[in-house]
Amino acid sequence: MIRTGKIAGMFAVLAIFAAMLCSAAPAGAADISLSYANFPPAKTFPCVQMERWKQEVEKRTNGKVLVQTYPGSTLLGAKNTLRGVMQGQADIGCISLAYHPGVFPLCSVFELPLGFTSATSASLALWDLYEKYQPEEFKKVKVLTMFASAPSNLMTKTPIRTLEDIKGMELRASGILSKILESLGATPVSMPMSATPEALQKGVVKGLFSSFEVLKDLNFAEICRYETVTNSAVYPFAIIMNMNSWNALPDDVKKIFNDLGREQAEWTGQYMDQHVKDSLDWSKEKYGIELVTLSDADMKIVREKTMPLIEDWKEKATAAGIDGAAVLTDVEAARQKYEAQ
Ligand code: 3IO
């Protein structure tokens, strides 16, 4: 009886193994499957870069790693991705730092009006800053890459031709970029990009402050026919990974992910800069949008009114134990280096 039971048990174990092999591991299937949460719609640049990263990872690991992508807040939304990734509801997630005021006292320096003219230079400078400082604010996650949007501009339903026109206007932004709007006399309404289409539709806001590629990708050109050029601050992003998921990866995969960090930052910046041009051409063609430029005098006022935000940032950074002056000096050096390229 005992003997029979043992053999039966062994068969049962074998049967379970056979079932596992058949159901979960068809020939050539991935050993590792990772979920990747993203908040905006699939067409937008954070999701385009996500698909590019997935492709590169699957190629470079010869299919050993499979990345399951979830665009459009289908796994985690804009404001719960940070917590969701830390808790393991997704292995990887995309966050816009400006949606978390006070949480990133160091990297939020990139939300300031520092004069970056492209997403490429800002993305490379942001990645350099991250690598140099390895900031405390990210210590609970693994940062896979970082990048920035292109400089921000005003996209509005009615034209902003002078700084007078912006007074009291409800405009969507986030983080320090909302403070930029406030210092210009607008009424900022902070919300994630993923909530903006509805807010524009309902009239909760009269426009937004972000990079121009959304005119096409979110069809904002249809509702915001006036685009006032300010070339203001960028929005910094981070792609974060759950620490346990990261620690469980084999060394060869970790190396592939690490090697992709800077490359992905640059790829995304370059994609964004090209896409801003495509989006403006498309918006002129399809909706006849008007590009408005402010006078030199108004641009000077913009610089003067937003300058105190840099001092504010430095004070908050110092309070968080960061050498704000050193960070600003490093970012400015990186800006000059990458803008010259
Ligand atoms: C952005 C965020 C999501 C999708 C497309 C985008 N283009 C520029 C941004 C930055 C921004 O405005 C934001 O809210 O993070």
- The boundaries of the domain holding residue 319 are 153-233+277-340
Nearest CA to ligand 1 atom 12: 210
pLDDT value at residue 29 = 67
> Rounded to an integer, what distance in angstroms lies between the CA atom of residue 211 and that of residue 123?
14
Nearest CA to ligand 1 atom 5: 44
Which tokens sit at 238? 């981070």
Residue to probe by mutation, ligand 1, list 39, 43, 44, 224, most atoms within 8 Å of CB: 44
Q: Using alpha carbons only, give the angle 138, 264, 121 rounded to the nearest 5 degrees.
A: 85
Q: What is the CA radius of gyration of the chain?
A: 23
Ligand 1 close to Cβ of residue 149 (< 6 A)? yes
> Rounded to an integer, what distance in angstroms lies between the CA atom of residue 332 and that of residue 114?
8
Cα of 182 from ligand 1 centre, angstroms: 19
Ligand 1 close to Cβ of residue 242 (< 6 A)? no
Residue to probe by mutation, ligand 1, list 81, 118, 149, 190, most atoms within 8 Å of CB: 149
Q: Is the dihedral of CA 108, 113, 115, 117 positive or negative?
A: positive
Q: Which helix (H) or strand (E) holds 292?
A: strand 290-293
Give the distance, in angstroms, between the CA of residue 182 and the centroid of all CA atoms in the same chain: 23
Which residues sit opposite 141 in a β-bridge? Answer: 242
Cα of 22 from ligand 1 centre, angstroms: 43
Q: Has residue 61 been placed in a domain?
A: no
Q: What are the percentages of helix, strand and coil residues in the chain, rounded to 5? A: 55, 15, 30
Which tokens sit at 308? 């105190």
Strand bridging mode 187-190 / 153-156:
unpaired
pLDDT value at residue 135 = 98
pLDDT value at residue 30 = 78
pTM of the model: 0.92
Among the atoms of ligand 1, which is closest to the Cα of residue 211? 8
Nearest CA to ligand 1 atom 14: 193
Question: By the 8 A CB rule, do 168 and 156 touch?
Answer: no
CATH number at residue 282: 3.40.190.170
Ligand 1 close to Cβ of residue 118 (< 6 A)? no
> Rounded to an integer, what distance in angstroms lies between the CA atom of residue 285 and that of residue 324?
44
Cα of 234 from ligand 1 centre, angstroms: 9
Which residues sit opposite 239 in a β-bridge? Answer: 94, 145
Task: Reduce the DSSP state of residue 104 to 3 states and report it.
Answer: coil
Q: Has residue 290 been placed in a domain?
A: yes
Q: Has residue 82 been placed in a domain?
A: no
Among the atoms of ligand 1, which is closest to the Cα of residue 98? 15
Ligand 1 close to Cβ of residue 40 (< 6 A)? yes
| Tally of CA atoms within 13 A in the half-sphere of 221 that contains its CB | 23
Ligand 1 close to Cβ of residue 113 (< 6 A)? no
Q: Indicate the residue type of 86.
A: M
> Rounded to an integer, what distance in angstroms lies between the CA atom of residue 175 and that of residue 96?
10
Cα of 32 from ligand 1 centre, angstroms: 30
Count of the separate structural domains present in the chain:
1
Among the atoms of ligand 1, which is closest to the Cα of residue 192? 14
Cα of 42 from ligand 1 centre, angstroms: 13
Q: Has residue 183 been placed in a domain?
A: yes
Nearest CA to ligand 1 atom 10: 235
Q: Has residue 214 been placed in a domain?
A: yes
Strand bridging mode 65-70 / 32-37:
parallel
Which tokens sit at 281? 């051409």
> Rounded to an integer, what distance in angstroms lies between the CA atom of residue 49 and that of residue 27?
29
pLDDT value at residue 23 = 45
Burial classification of residue 120, based on how many CB atoms lie within 10 Å of its CB (0-12 exposed, 13-18 middle, 19 or more buried): buried
Q: Has residue 69 been placed in a domain?
A: no
> Rounded to an integer, what distance in angstroms lies between the CA atom of residue 129 and that of residue 329?
11
Q: Has residue 220 been placed in a domain?
A: yes
Phi/psi for 162 (5° steps) reads: -135, 170
Residue 136's CB is within 10 A of a number of other CB atoms, namely 12
Cα of 117 from ligand 1 centre, angstroms: 16
Question: By the 8 A CB rule, do 138 and 72 touch?
Answer: no
Which tokens sit at 284? 């002129």
Cα of 210 from ligand 1 centre, angstroms: 7
Which residues lie below 8 Å from residue 308, measured CB to CB, with a gap of 6+? 183
Q: Has residue 334 been placed in a domain?
A: yes
> Rounded to an integer, what distance in angstroms lies between the CA atom of residue 275 and that of residue 257?
25
Series of mean pLDDT values for 10-residue runs along the chain (341 residues): 45 47 52 98 98 98 98 98 98 98 98 98 98 98 99 98 98 98 98 98 98 98 98 98 98 98 98 98 98 98 97 98 98 98 91
